């Protein structure tokens, strides 16, 4: 049996991949007019929501000197981010953590990774990627572009003492939009 699709029906759009998201953040970071339009606050991070590819969630974020995210993940979303101005540092875990069912984990030695991300450098990441992003400059703002798919259902926030990672709370979209 064959089924014909009416000419007016549009084919389903494929979900963006990590590579698609990375390409989007790279192209967006190169838009100097957009990057310079972000209002920068000397006290706290600022952001503008952007239209991401294929229904993804995207953000332009300003980072005052000395600010960071703290340890967190993006749950079931994959993502990408790039530094558009200044420099960011990312600390991440090279280990897949259980999605749910834990409050405290003892991390094994050797799971820590560190990346310096000057302007033009970025990365893509998969599900349950646990990291923190920092602007360690004492003088210069940083600006970055981020994209996630599916749009963030939640962000889990963690505290870390030595090799112990503790789930502190879960944020939902209404907490940051």
Q: Tens digit of pLDDT for each residue in 10-53?
A: 456 689 999 999 999 999 999 999 999 999 999 999 999 999 99
Total residue count of the chain as it appears in this document = 177
Is 13 contained in some domain?
no
Is 160 contained in some domain?
yes
Is 3 contained in some domain?
no
- 126 with 70: CB under 8 angstroms? no
Is 9 contained in some domain?
no
CATH number for the domain that contains residue 120: 2.60.120.10
The total of structural domains in the chain comes to 1
DSSP assignment string, 98-131: PSSS-SEEEPPTT-EEEEEEETT-EEEE-TT--E
**What pLDDT score does 138 carry?**
97
pTM (2 d.p.): 0.89
Which residue range forms the structural domain that includes residue 75?
A: 18-175
Is 10 contained in some domain?
no
Mean pLDDT over 85-101 rounds to 89
> Comparing C-alpha atoms, which of 130, 138, 40 is closest to residue 87?
138
């Amino acid at each position: 049996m064959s089924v014909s699709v009416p000419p007016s029906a549009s084919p389903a759009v494929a979900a963006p991949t990590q590579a698609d998201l990375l390409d989007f953040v790279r192209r967006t970071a190169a838009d100097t007019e957009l990057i310079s339009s972000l209002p920068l606050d000397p006290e706290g991070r600022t952001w503008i929501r952007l239209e991401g590819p294929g229904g993804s969630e995207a953000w332009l974020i300003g980072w005052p000197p000395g600010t960071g995210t703290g340890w967190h993940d993006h749950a079931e979303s994959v993502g990408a981010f790039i530094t558009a101005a200044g420099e960011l540092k990312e600390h991440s875990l090279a280990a897949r953590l259980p999605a749910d069912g834990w409050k405290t984990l003892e991390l094994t030695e050797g799971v820590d990774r560190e990346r310096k991300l000057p302007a033009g450098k970025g990365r893509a990441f998969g599900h349950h990627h646990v990291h923190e992003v920092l602007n360690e400059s004492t003088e210069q703002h940083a600006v970055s572009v981020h994209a996630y798919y599916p749009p963030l259902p939640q962000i889990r926030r963690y505290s870390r003492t030595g090799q112990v990672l503790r789930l502190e709370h879960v944020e939902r979209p209404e907490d940051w939009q």
